[in-house]
Amino acid sequence: MQAQAIASALALSLGFSVAAFGQFRDADPKGPRLGDTALRTWRIGVVVTAGGPCRGVVATTSVPTDWPEQQVRVVVEEASPGVRVSYATVDDAAKQPAARQMTVRITSLAPGQQARGVATFEVKRSGQRAPDETDLYVVPNPKRLDRKLRGYLNPSPYIESTHPQIKALAEKIGVDEATAWDRVEAIYDWVCQNVELEDNKGRGVKTTLETLRDGTGDCDELTSLVIAICRAGGVPARTVRVPGHCYAEFYLEDDQGTGHWFACDATRPGPFGEVTDDRPVLQKGDNLRLRDPQTKRMRSYRFLPDNVTVADLQGAPPQVKVVLEPVDD
């Protein structure tokens, strides 16, 4: 089936407001600073090929959206006849916007027939640099912390921040440092020095306790450990997901009580508090509450999953290809 392309340059913003959530702004002298900026184009969506006759196919995948360091617009949509593409914001357990989800609805497919819902996104992505002065930040008082931010102190899937072993580390690492910034940096240094980075080689994701036991982990697991120890020490923290990678953000307040999110990547050498990745941010947060498409029950997800459901299927299930590729590479 040949896709019908909506080829006009759609000025469609997929963003949601982030000003109220302690994010940094380029003009904020006490928050993170924007680094080098890259403008890249990505094709993201799904292609479904029917096995047997099927009706009511619904496929979902993650797409980028606006963040303070990222601006996104759709420039082209490729939608096959009978296909409808829509977008929705997905919150995490802290009831904060965490990700943007594309939903592709396909009315029906004959055996062997193919349908697609793919969009081309223009993504302007800036790096993040540490602030000039770091000694003015403090760990937020949990009693005065915004209710929505308290969720970033709680456990998430694979991040056991309340386990006694994690709490014991938080009571030891960085507690003698003079500033909150130095304390978080000590946590980051400890993870870098005590957990060896390795490819997961197709195995499942390990929990933070398994990562500690093994002394090895991939980017997901090193990030989880930094986040777990931060949370156990009272520092809100969360996962940032980009294609093929993830890193951590932690939250501190300045001397006026204003909160800021700062980035750190335990898998990349470089100054603490800086990230130079130019891949699109797909998610911020690591405890998304979604309804399982099979059981219809609510469950927690570390990352927004790619899903496909079929209302009426006869014969073999459809094959689904998730498209997530840079156009300009």
Average of pLDDT values for 201-225?
92
Q: Which domains does the chain have, with CATH numbers?
A: 9-127+304-326 (2.60.40), 131-273 (3.10.620.30)
Give the pLDDT band (50/70/90) at residue 28.
low
Tokens in use for 312? 């009426």
Helices (H), 195-251: 208-214, 219-232
Q: Which helix (H) or strand (E) holds 168?
A: helix 164-170
Which of 8-12, 102-106, 153-157, 160-164 is predicted with the least confidence, judged by mean pLDDT?
8-12
* pLDDT score at 11: 36
* pLDDT score at 128: 93
Burial of 264 (0-12, 13-18, 19+ CB in 10 A): buried
Buried b (16+ CB within 10 A) or exposed e, 157-186: bbbbbebeebbebbeebbeeeebbbbbbbb
Cα–Cα distance, 152 to 147 (Å, whole number): 10
C-beta of residue 260 within 8 angstroms of C-beta of residue 22: yes
pTM of the model: 0.89
* pLDDT score at 284: 97
pLDDT digits (tens, 9 = 90+) for 30-77: 888 899 999 999 999 999 999 999 999 999 999 999 999 999 999 999
Angle between helices 180-194 and 219-232 (to 10 degrees): 140
Give the pLDDT band (50/70/90) at residue 221.
very high
